[in-house]
Structure 1
Amino acid sequence: MTTIAVTTWSLEQTSPADLLPAAAPEGDVRVVRSETPSPEFSRFLYASVGGDIRWTDRLGWSYDRWRAHLERPGVETWVAYERGTPAGYVELAAGDDGVVEIEYFGLLPAFRGRRIGGHLLARGTARAWDLAERWPGLAPTKRVWLHTCSKDGEHARDNYARRGFRLFDTKVAEEPEVVTPGPWPGAFPA
Structure 2
Amino acid sequence: MSNSTISVTTWSLEQTSPADLAPVPEPDMPDGLRIERAEVPSPELSRFLYTAVGGSVSWTDRLPWPYERWQAYLERPGVETWVAYDRGTPAGYMELEPQDEGTVEIAYFGLLPAFQGRRLGGRLLSFGTARAWDLAERWPELTPTKRVWLHTCDKDGPHALANYERRGFRVFATKTEDEPTVTPPGPWPGA
Normalising to structure 1: TM-score of the pair?
Answer: 0.96
CA RMSD in angstroms comes to 1.0
Task: Report how far residue 177 of structure 1 moved.
Answer: 0.6
Give the equivalent residue in structure 2 for 1:14: 16
Give the equivalent residue in structure 2 for 1:69: 73
Task: Report how far residue 185 of structure 1 moved.
Answer: 5.2
Task: Report how far residue 186 of structure 1 moved.
Answer: 6.3
Give the equivalent residue in structure 1 for 2:159: 155
Structure 1 consecutive aligned stretches of length 4 or more whose deviation exceeds 4 Å: none
The partner residue of 2:44 within 21, 40, 45 is 40
SS of structure 1 residue aligned to 2:174: strand
Matches within 5 A, 1:22-171: 22=24, 23=26, 24-171=28-175
Deviations 1:134-160 (A, max 9, x none): 012110000000000111111000000
Determine the C-alpha separation between the residues in 2 that align with 1:185 and 1:10: 29
SS of structure 2 residue aligned to 1:64: helix
SS of structure 1 residue aligned to 2:158: coil
1:2 and 2:7 are equivalent in the alignment? no
SS of structure 2 residue aligned to 1:51: helix
Identity rate of aligned residues, in percent? 71
Change (3 A) 1:114 1:186: farther
SS of structure 2 residue aligned to 1:52: helix
Task: Report how far residue 184 of structure 1 moved.
Answer: 2.5
Determine the C-alpha separation between the residues in 1 that align with 2:30 and 2:75: 34
SS of structure 1 residue aligned to 2:187: coil
Determine the C-alpha separation between the residues in 2 that align with 1:61 and 1:8: 24
Structure 1, unaligned stretches of length 5 or more? none
Q: How many residues align?
A: 187
Deviations 1:58-92 (A, max 9, x none): 11110001001101111000000000100000000
Amino acid at match of 2:179: E
Deviations 1:87-121 (A, max 9, x none): 00000000011000000000000000011100000
Determine the C-alpha separation between the residues in 1 that align with 2:84 and 2:13: 22
